[in-house]
Structure formats: C-alpha cells, structure tokens
Amino acid sequence: MHPAFSVILLTTLLGAGQGVFLALVTGQVYASIKLIEAQDASFYVGGSVITIILLISGLIASFFHLGRPERAWRAAAKWRTSWLSREVIILPALMILVAFYGLVHWLGWTNPLFIAGADALPIDASLVLGVIGAVLAFALFVSTAMIYANVEFIAEWHSPLTVANFTFLGLGSGFMLAAAYSAALGNHLVTFYGTWAVIFTVIGLVSRGASLLRNRHIKPKSNLQSAIGVRHRLITQRAQGFTGGSFNTREFFHHAPPAVLQRMRTSFLILVFPVPILLIAIAYVSQSATLPIIAFLLQYTGLIAERWLFFADAQHPQNLYYQSVA
C-alpha cells in the first residue's frame, strides 16, 4: 500500500493524544489514592490542552486524506458496519470529554461527590469524566486499528496484533509525552510516567516484533491463477491495459526500493524502542529535565517510520493485476 502522510500523522498523533490523556487519568487515580503526590489543577488543564492539540492535529491531518473533506460529517452514518464510521464518531466525543475534563479542573469543581470504599477513593466530577474519557480513548484505539485489521484481503494487517500495536505504541508515546511534560514542569511524576512509558514501549516491542515476524511468513491466499482463473504455473502479465499509471498503480504500491524499507525498519526499531528507554533511564539517574523531552520527540519520529512501514509492508491482492505496464 502507498503510505499516505496524512494517515501516518493521523494515527500517530491520535495515538499519542489518547496515550497522554490516559496518562493524566492514571496519574489522577494514583494521586487520589495517595500513591503519588497530588498535582494542582494547572497540571491537568495543561495536559488536557496538550491532548486536545494532538487530537485536533490528527483530525486536521485526516482531512488531507479525504477527497471531499467538506462532506466529512457524512462519515458518521454507517457506524453499524464501518469501523471508519465508528472512529469518526468516537474522536469528537473524546475531544469534548477531554475539554470538559480540563474545564472541570480549571474551574476547580473537584470537591468529591462521594467517597468510594471506606474513605479510600474520593470520586469527583473530573474523575468521572476522566474514566469515561479513558473508556472512549481505548475504544478509539480499537476502532482506529480495526479500520486496518478488518481488511481481510491485506493479510499483514488482518490480525489482532494490529490492534495491540496501535494501542501499546500509542500508550507508550503518550506516557512518554506525559513524562516529558512533567519534566518540563519540573514535578516529581517523571519517574512514574517514565516507568509506565517504558513498560508500554516494551510490550509494544513484543507485539510489533511479533507482527514483523508474522509478516515475513505470510503466504498470500490469492495468486495469478485464481485472479484470472487459468490453471498454469507460468503466467506473465504482458499488458495492464494502460501505460501512464492509474489509481490502482498509485494507491496500492509504495514504489520504494527494498533498501528504503529496510532503512525504515531499522530506524523505527532503534528510535521507538531502545533509544527512548535508554534516555528515560539516564534521565532517572541524572534528574535531567530535557532528556525525557528528547526521548518523546525521538520516539514520535520513530513512530512515523513505523507507520510508514506498516503501510508499505501491506500487500494487496489487487496488485496481482498490475505486475507489468506493457
């Protein structure tokens, strides 16, 4: 498949946005049961603003993928059958919830509504919004990934690993961003978020590594024999019906030499996994405020390469019909 930059940005920005919001809510839950030190409202307000900026940037990127962005609202129609439609509904819902979450913190409506358990967990309005938002953020991970995992014709995508990759890489980059944000503010949550970022990044390495291995051994279901219905071992295309290219030759081929794919694979395997983990570890020892920020930026750059390869690796059976120009 052709790696469209709009979709690469869309999925990586949304992933980091959902991840950083989940990090905020996780932090708030931990703080309310006094496992980590409590933060004042401005921490959550700032975090919500970062989340919304990421989600809106993703949304803007998605418009560049559409031929008719002015009609984008129509995409909410078929949520019963289409994962794309589900994503289009959940994304704005999450944005609204994050906005309210930030607003509630900003207005200081954080007096506990009631206390759950024996004096253990005070529940306030922001926590309720946060938990609903967290559910939506996970639902968004699933629907974004299912857009790809649901295309049964693209074997490289048609796997639960796709959902795992989108989720864990999104969580990894989001918690990494939360660590960077805490480092920039100079509070004590860098270690907390950094640890979670490393955990999610390692799980992401396992699942993405598994999908890379799986993709190496995929046996395509369709072949030229079944594509044109002629039983012969040797079939060569002599003409594809046109010489100048078409939608089929642009959308479904990446036209990149194997060396570029290899370079992308190596760079994402380095930039997404060992480098940020190492930087976070050094930051933990040296108490550096800049290293977590660099770790996030490098990991995000790596994720762009990861998503590029995700598309370039995908082999569509329609390519069987476009093997030779003339």
Partner 1 sequence: MTQLALVIDLNVCVGCHACVTSCKQWNTSGWAGPLVDENPYDAHPTGTFFNRVQMFEVGTFPNTELVHFPKSCLHCEEPPCVPVCPTGASYKREDNGVVLVDYDKCIGCKYCSWACPYGMRELDMQQQVMKKCTLCIDRITDPSLPEDRRKPACVLACPTSARLFGDVHDPDSEVSIAIRERGGYPLMPEWATKPSNHYLPRRKTRMHITEDDLRRADNPLRHEDITVYTGEETLDDVTW
Q: Give the binding site for partner 1 (CB under 8 A).
A: 1, 65-69, 71-72, 74-78, 81-85, 88, 147, 150-154, 221-222, 224, 226-230, 232, 234-248, 251-252, 316-319, 321-322
List the one residue out of 151, 173, 140 whose CA is nearest residue 307. Answer: 173
**Cβ nearer to partner 1, comparing 249 with 301:** 249
What tokens does 203 get?
A: 């799980």
Cα torsion 181, 208, 267, 65: sign: negative
**Cβ nearer to partner 1, comparing 42 with 226:** 226
**Cβ nearer to partner 1, comparing 81 with 111:** 81
**Cβ nearer to partner 1, comparing 100 with 153:** 153
Q: How far is the CB of 322 from partner 1 (least distance, A)?
A: 7
Q: How far is the CB of 68 from partner 1 (least distance, A)?
A: 5
Buried b (16+ CB within 10 A) or exposed e, 121-154: ebebbbbebbebbbebbbbbbbbbbbbbbbbeeb
Q: How far is the CB of 166 from partner 1 (least distance, A)?
A: 17
Q: How far is the CB of 312 from partner 1 (least distance, A)?
A: 15
**Cβ nearer to partner 1, comparing 235 with 256:** 235
**Beta partners for residue 122, in sequence order:** 115
The answer to whether 51 and 178 have CB atoms below 8 angstroms apart is no
Kind of pairing between the strands at 121-123 and 114-116: antiparallel
Q: Which long-range contacts (CB under 8 A, 24 or more apart) does 320-323 make?
A: 320/222, 320/223, 320/224, 320/227, 321/227, 321/237, 321/240, 321/248, 322/237, 322/240, 322/248, 322/249, 322/252, 322/253, 323/224, 323/236, 323/237, 323/240
**Cβ nearer to partner 1, comparing 108 with 245:** 245
What tokens does 9 get?
A: 């940005």
SS3 249: helix
Q: How far is the CB of 8 from partner 1 (least distance, A)?
A: 15
Q: How far is the CB of 91 from partner 1 (least distance, A)?
A: 12
Q: How far is the CB of 78 from partner 1 (least distance, A)?
A: 5
Q: How far is the CB of 195 from partner 1 (least distance, A)?
A: 38
**Cβ nearer to partner 1, comparing 82 with 288:** 82
What tokens does 27 get?
A: 């932090």
**Cβ nearer to partner 1, comparing 71 with 216:** 71
Residues 6+ apart with CB under 8 A from 30: 36, 192
d(CA 248, CA 320): 11
End-to-end CA distance of the chain: 22
Q: How far is the CB of 218 from partner 1 (least distance, A)?
A: 14
Residues 6+ apart with CB under 8 A from 44: 24, 28, 101, 102, 105, 126
**Cβ nearer to partner 1, comparing 48 with 143:** 143
